[in-house]
Amino acid sequence: MERVIIRGVGSYLPDCVLSNTDLESMVDTTHEWIVTRTGIESRRICLDTEMASDLGYEAARKALENAHIATCDIDLIIVATMTPDMQFPATACIIQKKLGCSDIPCFDIGAACSGFIYAMDVGRNFLLSNPAMKNVLLIGTEKISSILDWEDRSTCILFGDGAGAVVLSRNWDNSDAGIWDILIGADGRCASMLHCSGWGASVPVTVENVEQRKYFIRMEGREVFKEAIKRMCVVVEDILLRNHLTVEDIACVIPHQANIRIITAIGERLGIPQEKMFVNLQHKGNTSAASIPIAIDEALKMGRIHTGDLILLVAFGAGMTWGASLIRWK
Ligand code: UT7
């Protein structure tokens, strides 16, 4: 059976660290509240001059190096982001220019924090359906600091900037390594729970809209919290069931890094020991579409993923969107 493998992984974070103590001087919050309610201690924030494409480019370079392939060997670039450099062209095209690999197709995917798993499904299907394609570059990159309301303590403490990338290739050696399955879904009825209405055609640029702070993230935290746990548990159960697996078969779960309480709750409900749940949100916060590829890169570097392991990625985000991916590591 032909499968697609993750051939290389890379990530990149901006240098600037914003600690909870720094936030104490910006909004009415405390380090203790943030750590207790979210698990986050600090996050990285871009400089004004740093864009999602800059972070994505750096992560992509590292993933290509790790995959031992040259930029001229990439056949397609897909970028998952909710903070593109501009409305158009796609951030994927801007990264293509930075990498210097013109003519190949490039596009962005908008599925918020689930974007990377959506991109993985699309990239995998391109490879499986088009024999001319050998390597697909997937990038999750976010400059979320640019759409945060730094006066809203319920959201500005949660997010961070960063990027992660993977190279997908066909499995040449005929082993069972590779992406076994991907399951994605969405429920548009929950769209208003987590949104940023500015920047879209429904909110024209007027002084009034700017004054009403419509260019920033708005979230019903408690509702999103409950929905996240429910949806991620269901998608994990579904993908395991349709592959005739149980949680015992999984060596490492890499969940979207939004809140330690969400990750703990999923582990408890599904009977997954916490030591199998990978967590790195302490010093990154929620990096949205970048969170899963950054976590894969870090889990590999920490020796949490080994050849032959079955790993499970699971995400949820605005939309609401969700997704899970089951991978036998190469
Ligand atoms: O990937 C994107 C998806 N987003 C998420 O996954 C986020 C999901 N939601 C959450 O993680 C949590 O709902 C939050 C961390 C955002 C909030 O935690 P919570 O335990 O749900 O708190 P809450 O919203 O119920 O607020 C509890 C209290 C409120 O005060 P009152 O009304 O009880 O007096 C808030 O005003 O905490 C207050 N509060 C804060 N206090 C200090 C909210 N934010 C802060 C803050 N510092 N930063």
Indicate if ligand 1 lies below 6 Å from the C-beta of 225.
yes
Whether residue 173 has pLDDT greater than 80: no
Whether residue 125 has pLDDT greater than 80: yes
Mean pLDDT of 267-273: 98
**For residues 41 and 282, is the Cβ–Cβ distance under 8 A?**
yes
Note the pLDDT of residue 174: 73
Which of 24, 25, 37 has most ligand 1 atoms within 8 Å of its beta carbon, as the pocket-test mutant? 37
Ligand 1 atom nearest residue 113's Cα: 1
Indicate if ligand 1 lies below 6 Å from the C-beta of 215.
no
Q: Summarize pLDDT for 134-144 with one digit per residue, the tens.
A: 999 999 999 99
Among 50-64, 198-212, 224-238, the range scoring the smallest mean pLDDT is: 198-212
Q: Summarize pLDDT for 61-98 with one digit per residue, the tens.
A: 999 999 999 999 999 999 999 999 999 999 999 999 99
Q: Summarize pLDDT for 232-246 with one digit per residue, the tens.
A: 999 999 999 999 999
Helices (H), the chain: 20-24, 31-38, 52-67, 91-99, 115-129, 207-211, 221-242, 260-270, 291-301
The pTM assigned to this predicted structure is 0.97
Phi, psi of 184 (to 5 degrees): -130, 155
Note the pLDDT of residue 57: 98
Ligand 1 atom nearest residue 29's Cα: 47
Indicate if ligand 1 lies below 6 Å from the C-beta of 320.
no
Indicate if ligand 1 lies below 6 Å from the C-beta of 23.
no
Question: Model confidence at 1, in pLDDT bands (50, 70, 90)?
Answer: confident
Q: What is the Cα Rg of the chain in Å?
A: 19
The domain 178-328 belongs to what CATH superfamily? Thiolase/Chalcone synthase (3.40.47.10)
Looking at CATH, the fold of the domain delimited by 4-170 is given as Peroxisomal Thiolase; Chain A, domain 1 (3.40.47)
Region(s) of the chain under CATH 3.40.47.10: 4-170, 178-328
Q: State the catalytic residues.
A: 113, 256, 286
